[in-house]
Amino acid sequence: MFADLKIDEIAPNPDQPRKFFDEEKHKELKGSIEENGLLQPVVVRPVEGAETPYMLIAGERRWRACKAAGLTVIPANILKDTDDEKAYVLGIAENVGREDMTIMEEACAYADLKTAGWESKKIAKQFGKTETHIKWRLGLLTLRKEVSEMVDKGQIKPNLAWHIAQLNPGNQMVAAMRYVRGDFDSEAEAQHFANGLKMTEQQTSLTNEQAPDAEEQEKRKAQKVKAKDGLGKAEEVLLPLLEELAEKKPEDLAVILGDDLTRHVKVIGKLFSQVQLVRNLLSKAQGVQRAMEAEFNRKALEVQKEAEEAKTKAVEKAKPEEKSACSEKKASAKPAAKKATPGAASKPAAKTRTATRTTAARKAPAQKTAEAKPVTKKAEAAPAK
């Protein structure tokens, strides 16, 4: 049933699958409604006994824009006999195909249906998706918050996000940050790196492998030399040849290769197939190597951290001994201070003795002067006799 409803008679659905509404697109829709009115009605259902008689099933973005544009009445499609689950499914159906519904919102919506008892196959059929699509979306729910935000912002694509979601939270941040900052030439390289991290988590032979014996070392050395020589020849011979052929015109090649052209086409086809296969393997190997380096660096940091903690504990353990030594020094200094205290009481006597000596010293020169004068006179009189 279609009817014009007062906008204040409609309440948004608290279980709305979409949680994010783009501000710029909201302004654009508001401007369009102000110019042309609401062209597509919102979908609501009656709610008995509620303060607001109708609840939105679909069209919350339109309802918000109408309120912002100052509309008091809007057209609505009223669906009766619709329970909470059916309303939620309709809300997902209305939003799941829209570009502005984020990947994580879509994943959370499917998860709610799984909680309600829906199988992945039923969800896929309901929304016209493949069962694999549903499972991959549900697989994103193990992403930590920071990485899921990168996915919603479009910094990480869904396919890569699924591979990252298989990792533990710490490695999720390692893979996500390295991809976002541009450490990889392609998304495939980032996937191989994530898979390599997963292998290290599972503690496969890559991380638990024991040191090879002398025979194994020689074998690996020979394999390395052979591979390097073969790839070196391909770079020196095959690559220039292909570059030279690529510069020629088809009619020239038809004449140059003649009757052998069909055979060469087959050879190049096989070569192309093998090159793609080897390139993919090398990319995976590169991902594993980078993951092993990251794991090694992480363990090196852990060892460094443990060493620093041990050093800190050793310093803290030595501190009490230093304090006791200081206490002993202070304790040995205290008796000396106590002995000096009684001496302070005898200071007045010392001052008295000092004063007496000073007075005597002052008197002594006077006496000597007085005694010296007669001698001087006698000495002067002697020549006169």
Give the active site residues: 60
Phi, psi of 309 (to 5 degrees): -65, -40
Beta-carbon contacts of residue 100 (< 8 Å; ≥ 6 apart): 22, 25
Other CB atoms within a 10 A radius of the CB of residue 148 amount to: 23
Tell me, rounded to whole angstroms, the distance of Cα 377 from its chain centroid.
Answer: 111
Alpha carbon distance 56, 45 (integer Å): 7
Other CB atoms within a 10 A radius of the CB of residue 96 amount to: 19
Residues present in the chain in total: 385
Side by side, the strands of the sheet bearing 10-11 are 2-6, 73-78, 42-46, 54-58, 10-11
Phi, psi of 49 (to 5 degrees): 75, 0
State how far the alpha carbon of 125 is from the alpha carbons of 122, 129, 131, 308, 347, in Å.
Answer: 5, 6, 8, 57, 109
* Sign of the dihedral defined by the CA atoms of residues 84, 85, 90, 95, in that order: positive
